[in-house]
Amino acid sequence: MTTDTTPSVALITGGSSGLGLALVHALDDAGWTVVTDARDATRLSDAIAGSAVRGVPGDITDADHRAALRDLVAELGGLDLLVLNASTLGPLPMRPLRDYDPLDMGEVFRTNGGAHAALMTSLADELLRRDGVVIGISSDAAVQHYETWGPYGASKALLDHLVLTFGAETGLATYAVDPGDMRTPMQQDAFPGEDISDRPHPDSVVPRLLALLEQRPERGRYLAADVTLPEVASV
Ligand SMILES: NC(=O)c1ccc[n+]([C@@H]2O[C@H](COP(=O)([O-])OP(=O)(O)OC[C@H]3O[C@@H](n4cnc5c(N)ncnc54)[C@H](OP(=O)(O)O)[C@@H]3O)[C@@H](O)[C@H]2O)c1
């Protein structure tokens, strides 16, 4: 993080809902300069209304949108934190591989993997300028093999690999983080009609991501639940 009085700068993709929104609000509350995006412009502006968060509506698979994000970050003087969070499950309901249209599979890889990698590499100089951190939001599906989760899981394995390779190539601190199940629209989409109220709120994952940022452990893949929280002094 920056050591001068300049606020730290974060770019979090997919900040209008779920984990992205929870993190956007936490960093904004902590005085960071926060940039985020999402495709639905109204939902995005409603989600960040009343905050200092800079919302840039657009689709991460669109090269012009990624260039707009990069230009804004350059204007802000660099990047302390990049969180590759926006994601698609693919066509719903989720389906077995033999029922998958190959073009749909390509779109899942493009959204969750390739487009985010293109954003990340385009921001290399901005990250290096501030010794920034990259967090790719992964999933247990990246390493487990669940029926109907194949393309999504493979796309998360792809993201993990690209994020960690980028770290090896640049020396930046890069992490693939599995947040665990969370009570979000994406989780509901994956389990239509199911009661998902037993899943933790995404707010509960944010302190783990902030602790990772603070601790800067070795580059690698982490379960959010395994990241140690700072001890709270007892009175
Ligand atoms: N929820 C879980 O249980 C769970 C478990 C493991 C991993 N994860 C991972 O955690 C991350 C956050 O998931 P979530 O559950 O918080 O999801 P969510 O509530 O559905 O939010 C997804 C966000 O991404 C945006 N988005 C989706 N596609 C986009 C695109 N092509 N371009 C730009 N923005 C896009 C969405 O807005 P628009 O639709 O308006 O674009 C929304 O702001 C994801 O990477 C997910 O794979 C979630």
With 90 as the cut, is the pLDDT of residue 231 above it? no
Does this model's pTM top 0.75?
yes
Beta carbon of 19 within 6 Å of any ligand 1 atom: yes
Q: How far apart are CA 36 and CA 48, in angstroms?
A: 9
Beta carbon of 40 within 6 Å of any ligand 1 atom: yes
Instruction: Of 83, 77, 55, 84, give the one whose Cα is nearest residue 8.
Output: 77
The helix-helix angle for 115-122 and 63-75 (nearest 10°) equals 30
Report the separation in Å between the CA atom of 234 and the middle of ligand 1, taken as the mean of its atom positions: 36
Beta carbon of 89 within 6 Å of any ligand 1 atom: no
pLDDT value for 208: 98
Distances (CA, A) of 14 to 85, 167, 217: 6, 22, 25
What are the pLDDT digits (tens) for 185-199? 999 999 999 999 999
- Two tokens at 78? 């660099």
Confidence of residue 217 (pLDDT cuts 50, 70, 90): very high
Average pLDDT in the chain: 96
Beta carbon of 37 within 6 Å of any ligand 1 atom: yes
- Average of pLDDT values for 161-169? 98
With 80 as the cut, is the pLDDT of residue 3 above it? no
- Two tokens at 94? 């989720």
With 80 as the cut, is the pLDDT of residue 110 above it? yes
Report the separation in Å between the CA atom of 164 and the middle of ligand 1, taken as the mean of its atom positions: 21
Q: How far apart are CA 59 and CA 14, in angstroms?
A: 9
Report the separation in Å between the CA atom of 202 and the middle of ligand 1, taken as the mean of its atom positions: 11
From the alpha carbon of 86, which atom of ligand 1 is closest?
Answer: 24
Q: How far apart are CA 198 and CA 120, in angstroms?
A: 34
Distances (CA, A) of 210 to 10, 80, 153: 12, 12, 25
The 8-class DSSP code of residue 233 comes to P
Percent of the chain with pLDDT over 70: 97
pLDDT value for 234: 63
Beta carbon of 137 within 6 Å of any ligand 1 atom: yes
- Average of pLDDT values for 208-234? 93
- Average of pLDDT values for 83-91? 98
Cα distance from N-terminal residue to C-terminal residue, the chain = 30
pLDDT value for 193: 97
Beta carbon of 88 within 6 Å of any ligand 1 atom: yes
CB 53 within 8 A of CB 44: no
With 60 as the cut, is the pLDDT of residue 4 above it? no
Per DSSP, the three-state class of 105 is helix
Instruction: Of 113, 48, 119, 80, give the one whose Cα is nearest residue 213.
Output: 80
Confidence of residue 15 (pLDDT cuts 50, 70, 90): very high
Report the separation in Å between the CA atom of 186 and the middle of ligand 1, taken as the mean of its atom positions: 6
Q: Is the dihedral of CA 174, 180, 183, 187 positive or negative?
A: positive
pLDDT value for 5: 63
Reported as type and span, the H/E element at residue 23 is: helix 18-29
With 70 as the cut, is the pLDDT of residue 2 above it? no
- Average of pLDDT values for 79-100? 98
pLDDT value for 6: 79
Report the separation in Å between the CA atom of 61 and the middle of ligand 1, taken as the mean of its atom positions: 14
Report the separation in Å between the CA atom of 84 and the middle of ligand 1, taken as the mean of its atom positions: 10
- Side-chain-side CA neighbours of residue 8 (13 Å): 21
- Average of pLDDT values for 85-98? 98
